[in-house]
Amino acid sequence: MANLWKSIWRRHLKPWRQITLAGVNVHYKTHLDGGGSTFGQNFYPFLKGRGMPKQARIFEWCAGPGFIGFSLLGHGVAETVCLADINDLAVAACRRTIADNRLANCVSVYHSDNLKGIPESERWDLVVSNPPHYADAHSGELRSFDRDWHIHREFFGNVRRFIKPGGVIVLQENNQGSTVETFRGMIEEAGLRIVFTHDALPERTPGYQFYYIGIIRAGDASPVWTR
């Protein structure tokens, strides 16, 4: 009964909130925010600091309410944005934001278990994400827990076909839960390669230490801004 009441509360009774990011009024419920409204907002200054040019189409994987994708659109570094999440309430949040800001002509959102629900026609220049950061903590928490790194492994194994030639994946990870070496093997097994890391430490840390991994297809030349 406790879990049923919690579900009813979150879905039907918990109030919707709004936050304005780069001029976009983003709708969400607090339990849908896995950090995208806070440390996820570091994506924009990080990418601009590297000199990344405007991207034709950006995809936010594990988007939640789309804090990162909508922010990059509002900052003018994306012409169009694609969002996807396994949580149908997060997808509903994205749709509320699209409707409120009249973004139907430049933002798409899919209810998708990892990449399974993404149309084969989708092609992306840049993929960004603040995915679940832990394989051995926060069990059962959709925003944080990735048992045996299954979500990451499946993503790496399927994302290549959606990336345009020269397309880049940039993940924001957490040294408290992982290191770059946690993912290197599964990245390379999927026919991808790491082209940069930023603020990554060689060992897991007791406190939050967010870092970035830049990834491209193994046979692609790395764009200038990733070098």
How far apart CA 80 and CA 107 sit, in angstroms, is 6
How far apart CA 60 and CA 85 sit, in angstroms, is 9
User: Is it the case that residue 143 has pLDDT exceeding 70?
Assistant: yes
State the greatest distance between any 2 C-alpha atoms of the chain, in Å, as a whole number: 55
**How much is the pTM?**
0.94
CA distances to 15, 24, 75, 98, 141 from 55, rounded to whole Å, are: 34, 18, 12, 19, 32
The 10s digit of each residue's pLDDT in 59-83 is: 999 999 999 999 999 999 999 999 9
Within 8 A by CB and 6+ apart from 215, the residues are 168, 169, 170, 171, 187, 192, 193, 194, 195
In contact, 95 and 63? CB cutoff 8 Å: no
The 10s digit of each residue's pLDDT in 164-201 is: 999 999 999 999 999 999 999 999 999 999 999 999 99
Residue 183: strand, helix, or coil: helix
Helices (H), the chain: 2-8, 43-49, 67-74, 88-101, 150-158, 180-189
pLDDT at 140: 84
How far apart CA 129 and CA 132 sit, in angstroms, is 9
Residue 94 binned pLDDT confidence (cut-offs 50, 70, 90): very high
User: Is it the case that residue 12 has pLDDT exceeding 80?
Assistant: no
Cα Rg, the chain, nearest whole Å? 17
CATH of 17-226, one of 3.20.20.70, 3.40.50.150, 3.30.470.10, 3.30.530.80: 3.40.50.150
User: Is it the case that residue 128 has pLDDT exceeding 90?
Assistant: yes
Of 81, 16, 75, residue with least CA distance to 41: 75
Of 190, 185, 195, residue with least CA distance to 220: 195
